[in-house]
Amino acid sequence: MTITYDSLLSEITAPDGRDILDPATGELVGKAPFRSVDVLDDAIARAKAAQPAWASRSDDERKALLLQAADAIDAAAEPLAELLSREQGKPLEGPNARFEVGACANWLRATAATELPGRTLIDDGETHATIHYRPLGVVGAIGPWNWPMMISIWQIAPALRMGNTVVVKPSEYTPLSVLALAHVLDTVLPTDVVNVVAGEGDLGARLSSHPDIAKLMFTGSTRTGQAIIKSSADTVKRLTLELGGNDAGIVLADVDPKAIAQELFWGAFINTGQTCAALKRLYVHTDVYDDVCRELAEVANTTPMGRGLDEANVLGPLQNKAQFDIVADLVDKARSSGATILTGGAPDAEAPGYFYPTTLVANIDNANPLVSEEQFGPALPIVRFESVEEAVEMANGLDVGLGASVWSADLDAARAVAARIQAGTVWINSHGGVHPMIPFGGVKKSGYGLEFGVEGLAAVSAPQVING
């Protein structure tokens, strides 16, 4: 059966549900069925009941079903992308809605292709010990509103591959996208292997404390992550936490500003800056500072922003009013401090939607709130430095450390600087790219635990050593 946009929406909405509005226009997208804690408890019970049969399937069977799920997403890619664009706001084109849906299918395939076999640890004639990776049971997943489908797959795919079942609580802002994704998965997967329950924050609190949730995966703010750590303590839950970041980029003096401008721009402004591992504060050597600012402004001024369904656009609105207000307040504080607004900084108060113009802020102090607080939107502060030591000190000066980047024509010099930066991932001459085979996770208050690749599979497994 062919899945259309209308048929997809009819499967996941409810007449008495919560209104979900398009952040670009304010128009109704659909009514999301927000459920109670009792409904969540029932979903957990069903996931628990379904888990033994799922775990008893062979690894090859589970891999085959993940591949079929990827094919199902591909077959429904256009209606999924349209719904995502309407609900989240991101454009269809560019590294946005179609890209995100495609990434869901690609991640399922990559997860199916990744191997985590048991292995012999020691066999010396006296001692024989092997390690094996067993299912945990039911994995809980709490996702964000910025990449709702893709991050849900990041949580679902490895958990399923290792024999767990999953209960997902999507963000209140983007529940329809995740419900639609689950509907497509359900056309292939056994009943109750993946369960999505939309609702308020009390559902997340229940997931983090429920005794039948063996592992919780969370992507979101540091503050919420800290609450999850506390509420999961009584049940000693395993946790993977990908929390807030305020990623630094360091541009060394030997770069060609024009050559790096596009990569710098998209490192900061992918998904209109609404990405955990986006470049959020840029440190530029004084020798190339003015040229980098000029080239970035040129890219910003020629990159179209608007409603996502218009395929000419590659930047969209902020997803919600709360985030719009955060960005506007931080830019206003920067302006009041005497910083230079190179471009943007003046949203149209009369226009519909939560559009904040692409904004570059120069001549700003490192202590300014736009630098020290995560803006999570289309506003990039550009700080001047004179020595590498100064740049590294500023980059390491915050209590978060998700990602960072170093930009240089000299790879050895860049790698030497990268080794000094306190971040889970440091990119060289790019920023924010992730790969399904490369582990990803933060340090400091950006969380703990690794996703992707072999390490990601291990993180949703219970290692068991057999000694003898």
Cβ atoms of 102 and 110 within 8 Å: the answer is no
At residue 28, the 3 state secondary structure works out as strand
Query: In this structure, are 266 and 166 located in the same domain?
Result: no
Query: In this structure, are 236 and 280 located in the same domain?
Result: no
Tell me the CA end-to-end span of the chain in Å, nearest whole number.
Answer: 53
Query: In this structure, are 230 and 259 located in the same domain?
Result: no
Is 386 a catalytic site residue? Answer: no
Burial of 136 (0-12, 13-18, 19+ CB in 10 A): buried
Residue 169 has pLDDT above 80, yes or no: yes
Report how many domains make up the chain: 2
pLDDT bracket for residue 339 (50, 70, 90): very high
Q: What is the mean pLDDT of residues 347-362?
A: 95
Distance CA 323, CA 327 (A): 6
The pLDDT tens digits for 56-91 are: 999 999 999 999 999 999 999 999 999 999 999 999
Question: Quick one: pLDDT at residue 349?
Answer: 87
Burial of 156 (0-12, 13-18, 19+ CB in 10 A): buried
Structure-derived torsion over alpha carbons of residues 390, 395, 396, 397, reported in degrees to the nearest 10: 80
Query: In this structure, are 276 and 424 located in the same domain?
Result: yes
Structure tokens of 116? 């985590």
Count of CB atoms within 10 A of residue 350's CB?
Answer: 5
Query: In this structure, are 264 and 398 located in the same domain?
Result: yes
Query: In this structure, are 374 and 418 located in the same domain?
Result: yes
Query: What is the extent of the structural domain holding 187?
Result: 5-243+446-467
439 within a domain of the structure (yes/no):
no
In sequence order, which residues have a C-beta less than 8 Å from that of residue 97 and are 6 or more positions away?
81, 82, 84, 85, 88, 90, 91, 308
Structure-derived torsion over alpha carbons of residues 161, 44, 5, 310, reported in degrees to the nearest 10: -80
Q: Which of 82, 104, 276, 295 is flagged as catalytic?
A: 276
Q: What is the mean pLDDT of residues 125-130?
A: 96
Question: Quick one: pLDDT at residue 118?
Answer: 94
Query: In this structure, are 323 and 394 located in the same domain?
Result: yes
437 within a domain of the structure (yes/no):
no
Q: Which of 82, 87, 172, 242 is flagged as catalytic?
A: 242
Question: Quick one: pLDDT at residue 22?
Answer: 98
280 within a domain of the structure (yes/no):
yes
9 within a domain of the structure (yes/no):
yes
Cβ atoms of 37 and 28 within 8 Å: the answer is no
Distance CA 198, CA 13 (A): 11
436 within a domain of the structure (yes/no):
no
Residue type, 374: E
At residue 210, the 3 state secondary structure works out as coil
Query: In this structure, are 460 and 341 located in the same domain?
Result: no
Q: What is the mean pLDDT of residues 208-233?
A: 97
**Percent with pLDDT over 70 in the chain:** 100
Residue 12 has pLDDT above 80, yes or no: yes
433 within a domain of the structure (yes/no):
no
The pLDDT tens digits for 233-260 are: 999 999 999 998 999 999 999 999 999 9
217 within a domain of the structure (yes/no):
yes
**Percent with pLDDT over 90 in the chain:** 99
pLDDT bracket for residue 353 (50, 70, 90): very high
Question: Quick one: pLDDT at residue 343?
Answer: 98
Q: Report the CATH number that the domain containing residue 283 is assigned in CATH.
A: 3.40.309.10
The pLDDT tens digits for 274-333 are: 999 999 999 999 999 999 999 999 999 999 999 999 999 999 999 999 999 999 999 999
Residue 1 has pLDDT above 80, yes or no: no
293 within a domain of the structure (yes/no):
yes
Query: In this structure, are 258 and 239 located in the same domain?
Result: no
For 274-342, give the secondary structure using H, E and C: CCCCCEEEEEEECCCHHHHHHHHHHHHHCCCECCCCCCCCCECCCCCHHHHHHHHHHHHHHHHCCCEEE
Distance CA 374, CA 280 (A): 7
> What residue ranges in 222-292 does DSSP mark as E strands?
238-242, 247-251, 279-285
Query: In this structure, are 180 and 264 located in the same domain?
Result: no
Is 242 a catalytic site residue? Answer: yes
Please name which of 452, 425, 435, 466 lies closest in space to residue 116, comparing C-alpha atoms: 452
Residue type, 253: A
Q: Report the CATH number that the domain containing residue 73 is assigned in CATH.
A: 3.40.605.10
Query: In this structure, are 376 and 453 located in the same domain?
Result: no
Query: In this structure, are 192 and 335 located in the same domain?
Result: no
Question: Quick one: pLDDT at residue 394?
Answer: 98
At residue 257, the 3 state secondary structure works out as helix
Cβ atoms of 177 and 84 within 8 Å: the answer is yes
